[in-house]
Structure 1
């Protein structure tokens, strides 16, 4: 008679230091395709729909807990499992880590799967296979095994004469004969909560490392005559743990290729898959084409039939359908409507929201900017902390001056506004609908709807100036001195009475320098200087 299906719990070990990573961060916080190692394992556990999940934390406990909680809030579906984060205060082995999680399973009468937080390629299907086999054989303890060419770094499976599992031996404790065993223990188990609690109480640290090994559970079960089931995995790489930067890079390369292949199967064109980086949280619509060196990061969403030229970085950005992003564009936390054109070499910063059919051109930067439908800013422009209506044209060199040294201020621009080149809008300021702003204008006050505003400096023309300049240069054999140079005048150039008066004032004044400046400012210009400027009047 088959026993009833027991509830399922999941335990993720994420407390280790990861010393071989040579990092101050906990190993499980390192990322693959933009996702922390522990989150890959947590997602696999959640797919099993367990009633309870315990993530054992230790090194960087607060950071691990925080990143898990944030990930759970961003998931498309809210997990129904009760999730806790037991703390392993001292790193005394995997058995001690599981022991720290026992309070999380108090009163739990089901099976528990034990997973490692540094095995990111483990799939929910493989864990489900382990659970199903465990229950079919009515085993007390079941574990995954893998046969590999290079077993270094893993505990080995020791089998008895009947080929049943007799023990798991850690690599540090292997005999010379056992080092040739190629069947390894990845450390993934399924057992009843009742056996787990009883067996953990019997663990000892009588080994080379003076640690409590979780692998000793196998020996305890065998010694008690209980059934132990081994389930071989189809792909040994799936259960490979990460212990070094090199292994991290190798696994990330594998995951990246798999992600690109998945999107190609979904109807996305990659013109150079080897140089395209797509993180795990990204979604891409069918008929979208990606050029070389495109990076899609975070929770970026790309619509259908978009075109992304090469050398583009999008992070946490949403694109509508048929959006064209040109070469060299960087976008972070932006939302873009259908049929928009962005770039080349545009920088769209957080808070940018573009309506459909907007054009943002080369060397344009936006930040906290809401831009209306069919509005264009095609060249060399900064739009920060602003709101722009529909069908407005922003000329080259336009700047919203949003910061006064203390606070940021908003600029409001209406619809159908024409803004000339080299315009500065000093916030806070509002430009009404249908207004025109002349080129070179500095807008400091609100502009009513339909008004023209111009504040440029009046143009001056000096007839014959170039001809005279060239004549002086030819006569003197060299170009005239720069404008900043001061021409010293001989005392005889000024009237004698003026010089005498100046000397008397200097002699009587306690501040000779100030007196000299006063007389100099009140003195008429020399005749030569006056005649030289006569043509400019």
Structure 2
């Protein structure tokens, strides 16, 4: 189906938020009401279409609700989305005679008896394009707002003998508008509550369902545990039996079965195989790929790295632009010096290698299989398989050394 978006005030800001070449942007140069807005789009609408009219400030309306509305409309039926509200202030009221919908009256034009009606118009409706093309040119702006109300077509449909039927959302929050910061916050909390309920039904245990944020698409397996204050951004996939500690941020990443993400860890465009162990306070930047049972420990940062099966990067380490084999142990304080101020270079570490603490590996450099790097070394040339490499200043022990004293 074709999508037409009517824009006016702040049009360029709206367009900048949607990167879809199939959207037809329609300019409403003068904001003369909802009927006038729809009229601007109609020249691009096929006359045999059923037109679904929705609003950009109603973000939580469910696809199932919209589908039901479209399915209820046909050549002789206009379908209207209505909702019952305890406080209908500000909404157009649905005027019925018996069970039949006869009209919609806007708040400023309603009589006292009509203001008492609690069934209101959401503004969302489905209607044949042929009928819209006939009705829209006949709309009048003779009302309290001086605007062309789309709602006036309801009375026109009734006059022509069309059926006007109502569909209802599952919740009033589906059709709540986002017009103030308070409303936006309320809608966000409702949305997050829905996401939490979905996750628990699908197989997750949430330490506190009110303290999780899903800001994209989160897919999960079975028996997942998610502690408090975790944020999931973009496309995140979590396999079975994964445990995620508190205060983690996971963005566009895949986490393999049985993995553990400890507290305060950040994953960005990372891929973890089964049974990986991350954190606490670890940061996996884009391009971090971990094989089965790999470990990235506390205060470790990785970027654009492949870490082989069973390899460990346990403490206080930076590993970037690197390929690390199986069973490698990288000691605390190790860094790969991958940037020379102009270009990035790669470090390669073979299976079974041992990198001593506080080592600097100056890329491009290759460490062979089962090689050992002595603690505190700065390695700037290749190390062959099975070799021990030590590159540090010679230790001197000076007898009877006197410490400097403060000058008076």
TM-score (norm 2): 0.91
1:293-348 deviation digits (Å, cap 9, x = unpaired): 22222211111101112221111111011001111111111111111100111111
| One of 187, 200, 213 as aligned partner of 2:149 | 213
Give the superposition deviation at 1:93: 2.1
Name the structure with the higher strand share. 2
Structure 1 residues 172-321: aligned runs within 5 Å: 172-233=108-169, 235-321=171-257
Query: What residue in structure 1 maps to residue 68 of structure 2?
Result: 129
Whether the aligned pair in 2 keeps the contact of 1:259 and 1:280 (CA below 8 Å) is no
Q: What residue is the counterpart of 1:114 in the other structure?
A: 53
Residue 367 of structure 2 is matched in structure 1 by 431
Report SS of the residue matched to 1:172: helix
- Report deviation, 1:239: 2.3
User: Paired residue for 2:299, among 360, 363, 373?
Assistant: 363
Change (3 A) 1:448 1:89: farther
The answer to whether the 8 A contact 1:139-1:229 is kept is no
Equivalent position SS for 2:184: helix
Question: Cα gap change, 1:61/1:336 in structure 2, threshold over 3 Å: closer, same or farther?
Answer: farther
How far apart, CA to CA, are the structure 1 residues paired with 2:286 and 2:373? 28
Cα 1:392–1:59, aligned 2, differ >3 Å: closer, same or farther? farther
Partner of 1:513: none
Contact 2:203 2:220 in 1 (8 A): no
Residue 149 (structure 1) aligned with residue 89 (structure 2): no
Structure 2 distance, partners of 1:99, 1:234, is 30
**What's the offset of the Cα at 1:284?**
1.4
Of the candidates 80, 83, 86, which is equivalent to residue 26 of structure 2? 86
In the alignment, does 2:279 pair up with 1:337? no
> 2:173 touches 2:190 (CA, 8 Å); kept in 1?
no
Aligned to 1:464: 400
RMSD over equivalenced CA pairs, Å:
2.4
Alpha-carbon separation, structure 2, partners of 1:89 and 1:280: 33
Instruction: Work out whether residues 141 and 228 of structure 1, in 8 Å CA contact, stay in contact via their aligned partners in 2.
Output: yes
TM-aligned CA deviation for residue 231 of structure 1: 3.6
**Is the Cα–Cα contact under 8 Å of residues 359 and 377 in structure 1 kept in the other structure?**
yes
Question: How much has 1:386 moved relative to structure 2?
Answer: 1.6
Q: Which runs of 5+ in 1 are unaligned?
A: 1-50, 73-81, 470-478, 488-537
- Give the helix-richer structure, 1 or 2: 1
Q: Give the Å deviation of 1:440.
A: 0.9
Task: Tell me the SS of whatever aligns to 1:198.
Answer: helix
Q: Quick one: distance in 1 between partners of 2:340 and 2:192?
A: 45
Shift, 1:392, TM fit: 1.2
After TM superposition, give the deviation of residue 57 of structure 1 in Å.
3.6
What secondary structure does 2:341 align onto? Answer: coil
Once structures 1 and 2 are overlaid, which stretch shifts more, 322-331 or 269-278? Answer: 269-278
Q: Partner of 2:26: helix, strand, or coil?
A: coil
- Are the aligned partners of 1:86 and 1:104 in contact in 2 as well (CA < 8 Å)? no
Provide the rounded CA distance (Å) in 1 between the counterparts of 2:230 and 2:143: 51
Shift of 1:263: 1.4
* Deviation of 1:61 (Å): 4.4
Larger CA Rg, structure 1 vs 2: 1
Give the Cα–Cα distance (whole angstroms) in 2 for the partners of residues 405 and 104 of structure 1. Answer: 54
Task: Determine if contact 1:145/1:231 at 8 Å carries over to the other structure.
Answer: yes
For 1:55, the equivalent position in structure 2 comes to 5
Query: Deviations 1:15-51 (Å, cap 9, x if unpaired)?
Result: xxxxxxxxxxxxxxxxxxxxxxxxxxxxxxxxxxxx3
- SS of match in other structure, 2:235: coil
Q: SS where residue 397 of structure 2 aligns?
A: coil
Q: Any residues of structure 2 matched to 1:23-102 within 5 Å, and which?
A: 51-59=1-9, 61=11, 64-65=14-15, 67-69=17-19, 83-102=23-42
